[in-house]
Amino acid sequence: MENVSVNKIFGGWHKQYSHFSKTLNCSMRFAIYLPPQASSGNKVPVLYWLSGLTCNDENFSHKAGAQRAAAELGVAIVIPDTSPRGEDVADDEAYDLGQGAGFYVNATQAPWSKHYQMYDYVVDELPQLIEATFPVSDKRAISGHSMGGHGALVIALRHPERYLSVSAFSPISNPIDCPWGQKAFSTYLGKDREAWRSYDASELMREAKDFVPALVDQGEDDNFLLEQLKPEALTAAAKASNYPLELRMQDGYDHSYYFIASFIDEHLRFHAAHLYQ
């Protein structure tokens, strides 16, 4: 790994690193916030944050204001990039496909399958690297926004043994039934819609047998609410399986980081309650 930057904040350290990912076959960058408690030799639990379309690790790091509460609660935050990147990595001119838009799936279709294995990167390779390198424990939570909220919910639902809690802001809740998801899934996964179901949070939650406590916040003034996000599908799925989901509709809030910054402390406290139980 190469250390790209270091900044002290709220008594802890926010650091950026680059490393070569065998899973993605390219160089990747991630950020980690280590709270003050990690400096005393103690291993602290970790929240993995998955960002949305067009983002990288810096959007959350600079705009969410999460470090203050993380320092208080003693929770590390790991922020990967949203896709593989590089000159030889497949891309698209559209903002919602290609670099910056990996959708946290394992692509099966050429040319995407060579690099776009973000699901395995987030679930396996990155946590192994983090836990082998930094003073963190194997107590994990996961969260994200929009495309990243989709990724966080899907990963927790598919691996309830690995995560103690999950949360999301404005997640793409039912991607097999919205334009963003249909475009990405047909490109990365092919035309077989049955293969898409394993990456759809509503489909997974409807059939869930093992539960990870879940908190979702959705702004009522989100421009993408009706066409792309579809929280009502997630609510119906939770009702069908009696899933422990708390979904809160927040009056006046949109899809931006102003929304995330308004409620990120509550999400961190939600996760800390499970990570330290």
Any catalytic annotation for residue 146? Answer: yes
Any catalytic annotation for residue 255? Answer: yes
pLDDT at 42: 87
CA distance 160 to 153: 10
pLDDT at 187: 98
CA distance 21 to 125: 8
pTM above 0.75, yes or no: yes
Secondary structure element (H or E) that encloses residue 79, with its range? strand 76-80
CA distance 181 to 90: 18
The b-or-e profile of 37-67 (16+ CB within 10 A means b, else e) is: bbeeeeebbbbbbbbbbebbbebbbeebebb
The single residue of 83, 222, 262, 267 carrying the catalytic annotation is 222
Tens digit of each residue's pLDDT, the chain (277 residues): 999 999 999 999 999 999 999 999 999 999 999 999 998 778 999 999 999 999 999 999 999 999 999 999 999 999 999 999 999 999 999 999 999 999 999 999 999 999 999 999 999 999 999 999 999 999 999 999 999 999 999 999 999 999 999 999 999 999 999 999 999 999 999 999 999 999 999 999 999 999 999 999 999 999 999 999 999 999 999 999 999 999 999 999 999 999 999 999 999 999 999 999 8
The C-alpha torsion from 19 through 25 and 31 to 33, rounded to 10°, is -80
The single residue of 14, 255, 267, 271 carrying the catalytic annotation is 255
Instruction: For domain 2-276, give the fold.
Output: Rossmann fold (3.40.50)
Any catalytic annotation for residue 222? Answer: yes
The single residue of 83, 146, 165, 167 carrying the catalytic annotation is 146
H-state helical runs in 74-176: 118-120, 126-133, 147-158
